[in-house]
Chain A
Amino acid sequence: MAEETKRNGKPETSHHPETDPERGDKNYYGIPPIKRAHWTWQIYVYFWVGGIGAGSHLLTVIGHLLGWRDEAFFRTTKYTTLATMTISPVLLIWDLGRPERFLNMLRIVKLRSPMSTGSWALSLFGSMSGLVATKRAAEDGLLLGDNFLSRLAKLVPDRLVSVLALPLGLYVGAYTGILLIATSVPMWARNWLLMGPTFLSSAVSSGLSWTSLVLHLGNWGEGKTLGALKKAEKIVLAVEAVLIAASLVRMGKWSKPLFSKKLGPLFVGGTLVGGIAAPLVLLSGKETRNKSILASVLVLVGGFLFRYVMVVGGRESADDPESYFTFAKKDGGRPEAGSK
C-alpha cells in the first residue's frame, strides 16, 4: 500500500501536484475537472435499439421507392421500427431522474440542443413510423380482424408518411452521435464532425443486419432481397470502417480511452475486428445461410459494443484531467473557431 503511494521513493505528500516536483502531472489532485455524463445501460442500449429502428426505416423507404414487393421484408422492417420506437422512449424515460416529467422534453424546441431535437425527432418519427406499422398490422390482420380501427389504419398513406418520416428517422440514427459531441468531453467533442455520420452508418448497418438476420432465421424473404441486403451490408460496413478510422485519426490522443485496458478489447475485438472486419470477410466469401446469420449477429454485437465503448469511453475521457486540459488549451485540440 505504502509503496504504491510513493513516488521516486519519497513519501507521498499533501502538496498540490502542479507545484510538487515529486508529484508531476498538472491537475488538481487528479480530480476530474468536468463531470461525466451519468448515462447508464439504458442509454447505450437505446443508442443501439434506436439505431436499428432508424436503419430499418431507411430500408422500408428505399424498398418502397424501388417498388419492392417482398412482404416479409416490409413486415420485418416496419415491425422492427415499431418495436424499437416503442422500446426507445421506455428506455429513455427509465433513465430520467424524474420519469414523470418526461413530457417536459417537449416543452420547448431548442435547435442547438441535440437532446431537445432528438426528443422531438424520436417522438415524431416514432408516431409516424407507428402509423406506417399500424397500417401494415391492419393489412396483416393483426388488429383483431376487420374493425373500425383497422379500417381507419388502412387509410394511412403509408408511403407518403414513411418518406416524410425518413429525415426524422435518419436524424434519430445520427443525433445520438451529435448528442455526444455537443458536450465538453474531449473524446467526443473532438470528433464533432464525424460522430454523427459514424453513428448513422452504424445504425444503418445494424438495421441491415437485423433485417437480414430475421429473414434468414425465419426462412422468409426472397433471394433477391437477401442478396441486396448482403450487398448493402458490405458497402455500409465499409463506409462505417472508413468513418471509424477517420474518427480515430481525428480524435488523436483523446481517443485513449477506447484503447484502455477495459475498453480496448471490446472496441478492437468487438467492434473493429468482430463487428466490421469479420462480417466483411464472412459476407465476401461464398454465401451460406449460416455465414449470413453469423455475420449479422457479429454486426449487431459490434454495433452494440461500438455504442458501449463510445459512451463509457466518454466517461473515462471526462475523468482524465490531462485529457481535458490539453483539449481545452488555446492552441490545444479544441475545434477551431468558425467551423460550425
Chain B
Amino acid sequence: MPGLGITLGRGGATGNLQDLQNSDAILIQGSNMAEAHPVGFRHPMIAKEKNGAKLIHVDPRFTRTSAMSDIYAPIRPGSDIVFLGGLINYVLQNERHFEEYVVNFTNAATLISEDFEDADATGLFSGWNEETQAYDPSSWRYEGQPIDHAPVGGSQGTLIGEAGEGQQHEMHDGRPRPNDQTLQHPRCVFQILKRHFERYTPEMVEKVCGTPKEAFEAVAETICENSGREKTTALCYAVGWTQHSKGVQLIRTAAILQLLLGNIGRPGGGIMALRGHATIQGSTDIATLYDILPGYLPMPDVAKPHDTWRDYVETETAKTGWLSNFPKYATSIMKAWYGENFDHEEGKLFEHFPRISGDHSYYPTIMAMKDREVDGAFVFGQNFAVGGPHARMAREALRSLDWLVVLDAYEIETATTWKMDGTDPKDCGTEVFFMPSGLVAEKDGSFTQTQRLLQWHDKSVEPPDDARSDAWFVYHLGRRIKKLYENSDDPKDDLIKALQWDYPTEGPYDEPDIESILKEVSGYEIESGRPVSGFADLKDDGSTACGGWIYSGAYADGVNQTRRRKPGDNPNHEWGWAWPADRRILYNRASADPEGKPWSERKKYIWWDEKESKWVGDDIPDFEADKPPSYRPEPGDEGMDAIPGDGPFIMNGDGRGWLFAPIGLKDGPLPVHYEPLESPVPNPLYFQQRDPALKVFPGRPDNPYNGPEDPRYPHVVTTYRLTEHHTTGAMSRWTPWLNELQPELFCEISPELAEEEGVSNTEWVTIETSRGRIHCKALVTDRIPTYKMDGRNLHTIGLPYHFGPNGIVTGDIVNDILPVSLEANVGIHEAKAFTANLRKGRV
C-alpha cells in the first residue's frame, strides 16, 4: 500500500475499526463496506445511530453500503482521482484546511526544486522520458537536496510497506529545509498543490465522474464540517480503489485530503485500508511477496549495490527517521533464519542469498509459466484459475507446467484445469498433486487483519483424514529438502544447509508448534533465549534474532500477546496485539498540537505530560516516548535524532506527512487523473489518456486490450463481491447455505442499458471483451446509474466474480474477460474498470 506508505510512512490502515465509532463523518469510497466487511461495518453504524455521524458512500453502484449512508454519490468507475481532487480543490479554494496541522505536520511549507514542472494540460510531470517510458524523479526533489538519488525501482517492497529506505538520506542532512511557514511561496508544496488541483472543479467532477454537483458539494461540505480541531472524518477504502491502473495515486489523493483536513493520527480520523482475506495484511507483513523480506525490508537486488552483506546494509540504511535502524532488523532476520551459521560481521552466507533479477511478480510469472519458462509450481490457498485477471490465460499457464502442487481444502479450479475449457486430460501433461489442507479451525495460528491486529486462534479439531495444516506441509517439506542436501558440497546449497529448521513438533502427525514460530518472529536474545519486548531491543551485533521486526513484541515476556481476548473499551490493549508495538492508531503524535497539547478535549488521545516528561494517553505513543515537542534536531543528526518533536510521521525522513512525494513513486509526485487503460471516453482533463507508467504487454497477442473509445466495447465493466460469497467462490460455492442465497452468476445493469439491448430482468446476456466472453443472467436495476458525458450515455455493467465450474452452484468465470495490466508501483490489475459489450441471449 505505497499510496499510504509514501504519504504517511507506513503502508497500513492508520487506525482501527472500533475507532470509527469516534468519527463525526465517515467517507466510504472504493469499498462496499457493508457487504464485504459486514462485521466491521457495525462500527460506522454505531457512529451513525448513536453519535449521529454522517455516513457517505461514493460508488458506481448503489449498494447495501449506500443504503445505510446519509449521502450516496454515484461515480463513474475509474474517476475517483477527479472526485478526490475535487474535494482537495474545494478544501483549498475555500480555505477549509486545518492550517496549524498542515503547516506543522505536513510538508506543505517545504519548497520544491526550481526544476519541477507540474503536469499541465499534457498530464505529464517534468522528468518523463518518452523513450524509457519512465520518470526521472530528480526534478521533484526538495529544494536544496542533491540531485543524485537512489534509483527508484528495484526493491519495490519498501514502497509497499514503508516509505523508508534509500530515499530518505538523500533528502535530508539535518539542516532545516528551505520552507515558508506562511505557505505563500509559489514553490512551497501548498501552493503547488493548490495550483495542481485547481482544474478539479465541482463542474469537472460532475462532468468526469458523473456525480451531480449537489451530491459532490454535499459530500465536500459534510467532510469539511466534520474535520478540524473538534471533529474528525475517517475514510474507508478497499479494492474499489486499489484495483485500478493508478490505484496507488488514487489512495495518495485520499491521504493528501486527510492530511489537509488534519484527520490523520487522531481518534475518529484516519484512513482505513480495509484488507481482504482473513490475514492478507499478515501475508504482506511476513512477506509472501517476492520483493520484500519480512517487515517490508528490501529484498536483495542484482540491480542495486547489494553485492556483499556490508553493501546491502549500507545501501538500505536510512540516515534519518526510523529506518536508520535497518541494520538491526536485517541482522536479526538473518540470525533467526541461519543462527550461528550467519556471521553478521562478514555476512558470508549472504553471497548465496537470492537476489531479485527482474519482475517476478504474480502476472509476469504466470506469463512465464505459459511460455514454458517455469517447470512447476506450488499453490497454497489461492485459486487464480478463477481469481486472477485473464483467468483463461492463467489456466493455460497451469496446463503448461510439468508439475503442480495444490494445497487446498477444496477441489478448486486451479487443481482441475486439466479437465476444464474442453481440455482432454490425455493432452494435458501437467502432473497435479492435490494435497488436502486443514482449515482455520483445524490448526493453531494467528491472523493479522485489516487494522494490523494479530489475533490468535487455537485448533478446535484435528484436520480430517489426510488433511494437514500448511505449516505441517512446509515444515516437513523443508526437513526433507534439508535431508536431500545434507551431504552436498556445492556452495550454492550452503543456504539450505545453513537454514535452522528445527521447530518443536506435537501431536500424532508431528505438527510444528506454531507458537514457537511466533516466538521467533517476535524475536529473542540468542544467548538466553529470552523473548525481546519489542523492536527497540533488537541489535545489529548478532545477539538478537527476530523473524519480522514489525511483529517484535508479539511474544513479549514469553506470553503470546496475540492470544489476549478481554473485551473492553477502545483502544483495548487487552485484545490481540497490533503492530507496531501494539499501537492502535498510527502517527498518534498528531492527535496533539505542535506543543503537545490535545487539539481539543473531545479529540484527546495522546499528549505530552510536562510533569512526567513523556507522552501519555490512551494508546501506545507512536513517537519516542520522551522526546519533548520542543525538540529540534541539530544539523548532522542522524536516525531518530533527526526527527523533530513536532514531526508525527516518524517513518518519513522529515517527520512530515508528504502532500508532495519528492521521491518514491513511479508515476508522479502528485496524483493526476488518467482514464482507465480501457475506457470508452477520452481523458477530459489531460492529453495523456492513461497512467504513463502503467505496465502493459503490447507484445502479447494472447493478452489483447480494448483500445480507448473502441466502439466495439462501449460499456464499462466493474467487478466486485457479494456478501454471500467469498472471492473466487472456492470455499463458498460448496456451502449450500450460501449458495441458496446467491445461486448463480448475474450482471447488474441499468434499466436504460436493458432497454437499449432489449433485455429484461433474469434474461440471459453475453458480455464480451477482446479476451473472451461470458454468459450470465441480467439483474436489471436502478441501483446501477447511467452516466452521461458529452451527451452520451455511459453504461456500467456490474459483475460479481465469485463463480466458476466447480461446486454446488456454478457460473462462468468473470475474470476470463479481464486484461492483464500492471499498476506502476505495485503491479495490481485493473478489475474495477475495463470495457466490454453486452448482448441479449447466449451468443
Binding site for B on A (CB under 8 A): 1-2, 5-6, 10-15
Of B487-495, B702-710, B750-758, the one touching chain A: B750-758
Q: Are B758 and A2 in contact (CB under 8 A)?
A: yes
Q: Are B781 and A11 in contact (CB under 8 A)?
A: no
How far is the CB of B786 from the nearest CB of chain A, in Å? 13
Q: Are B782 and A11 in contact (CB under 8 A)?
A: no
Q: Are A14 and B761 in contact (CB under 8 A)?
A: yes
How far is the CB of A328 from the nearest CB of chain B, in Å? 28
Q: Are B758 and A13 in contact (CB under 8 A)?
A: no
Task: Scan B754-792; emit 1 where CB is below 8 A from any A CB, else 0.
Answer: 110011111100000000000000011110000000000
How far is A259 from B40 in the complex, measured between Cα atoms in Å? 55
Which residues of B are found within 8 Å of A15, using beta-carbon distances? 781-782
Which residues of A are found within 8 Å of B840, using beta-carbon distances? 2
Q: Are A13 and B763 in contact (CB under 8 A)?
A: no
Give the interface centre of A5, A10, A11, A14 by most chain B CB atoms within 10 Å.
A11
How far is A15 from B760 in the complex, measured between Cα atoms in Å? 12
Which residues of B are found within 8 Å of A2, using beta-carbon distances? 758-760, 763, 840
A7 closest partner in B (C-beta): B760
Identify A14's interface contact among B755, B758, B759, B781, CB under 8 A.
Answer: B781
Identify A10's interface contact among B751, B763, B779, B781, CB under 8 A.
Answer: B751
Give the interface centre of A1, A6, A14 by most chain B CB atoms within 10 Å.
A14
Which residues of B are found within 8 Å of A14, using beta-carbon distances? 761, 779-781
The A interface, classified by DSSP as helix, strand, loop or mixed, is loop
Which residues of A are found within 8 Å of B782, using beta-carbon distances? 13, 15
How far is A12 from B780 in the complex, measured between Cα atoms in Å? 7
Q: Are A11 and B760 in contact (CB under 8 A)?
A: yes
How far is the CB of A81 from the nearest CB of chain B, in Å? 50
B754 closest partner in A (C-beta): A11
The B interface, classified by DSSP as helix, strand, loop or mixed, is loop
How far is the CB of B784 from the nearest CB of chain A, in Å? 10
Task: Scan B523-553; emit 1 where CB is below 8 A from any A CB, else 0.
Answer: 0000000000000000000000000000000
A3 closest partner in B (C-beta): B760
How far is A11 from B840 in the complex, measured between Cα atoms in Å? 12
Taking A11-B755, A13-B751 as contacts, is the C-beta distance between A5 and B760 under 8 angstroms?
yes
Which residues of B are found within 8 Å of A13, using beta-carbon distances? 751, 754, 761, 780-782
Taking A12-B780, A13-B782, A14-B781 as contacts, is the C-beta distance between A5 and B761 under 8 angstroms?
yes
Which residues of A are found within 8 Å of B759, using beta-carbon distances? 2, 11
How far is A119 from B434 in the complex, measured between Cα atoms in Å? 61
Which residues of B are found within 8 Å of A11, using beta-carbon distances? 751, 754-755, 758-761, 780
How far is A5 from B755 in the complex, measured between Cα atoms in Å? 13
How far is the CB of B746 from the nearest CB of chain A, in Å? 9
How far is A93 from B781 in the complex, measured between Cα atoms in Å? 49
Q: 18 new A-B pairs (CB below 8 Å) besides A5-B762, A11-B780, A12-B780? A: A2-B763, A2-B840, A10-B751, A11-B751, A11-B754, A11-B761, A12-B760, A12-B761, A12-B762, A13-B754, A13-B761, A13-B780, A13-B782, A14-B761, A14-B779, A14-B781, A15-B781, A15-B782
Give the interface centre of A1, A2, A6 by most chain B CB atoms within 10 Å.
A2
Q: Are B779 and A6 in contact (CB under 8 A)?
A: no
Shortest Cβ-Cβ A-B pairs, 8 listed: A11-B754, A12-B761, A12-B760, A5-B760, A13-B780, A11-B760, A14-B781, A2-B760
Which residues of A are found within 8 Å of B758, using beta-carbon distances? 2, 11
- What are 14 A-B residue pairs whose CB atoms fall within 8 Å in the complex? A1-B763, A2-B758, A2-B763, A2-B840, A5-B760, A5-B761, A5-B762, A6-B760, A10-B751, A11-B760, A13-B751, A13-B754, A13-B761, A14-B761
How far is the CB of A16 from the nearest CB of chain B, in Å? 11
How far is the CB of B754 from the nearest CB of chain A, in Å? 4
Which residues of B are found within 8 Å of A12, using beta-carbon distances? 760-762, 780
Q: Are B755 and A10 in contact (CB under 8 A)?
A: yes
How far is A13 from B759 in the complex, measured between Cα atoms in Å? 10
How far is A13 from B755 in the complex, measured between Cα atoms in Å? 11
Which residues of A are found within 8 Å of B751, using beta-carbon distances? 10-11, 13
Which residues of A are found within 8 Å of B760, using beta-carbon distances? 2, 5-6, 11-12
How far is the CB of B752 from the nearest CB of chain A, in Å? 9
Give the interface centre of A6, A12, A15 by most chain B CB atoms within 10 Å.
A12
B748 closest partner in A (C-beta): A14
Which residues of A are found within 8 Å of B781, using beta-carbon distances? 13-15
How far is the CB of A11 from the nearest CB of chain B, in Å? 4
How far is A11 from B761 in the complex, measured between Cα atoms in Å? 7
How far is A72 from B755 in the complex, measured between Cα atoms in Å? 76
A20 closest partner in B (C-beta): B782
How far is A14 from B798 in the complex, measured between Cα atoms in Å? 14
How far is A10 from B753 in the complex, measured between Cα atoms in Å? 11
How far is the CB of A42 from the nearest CB of chain B, in Å? 31
How far is A12 from B760 in the complex, measured between Cα atoms in Å? 5
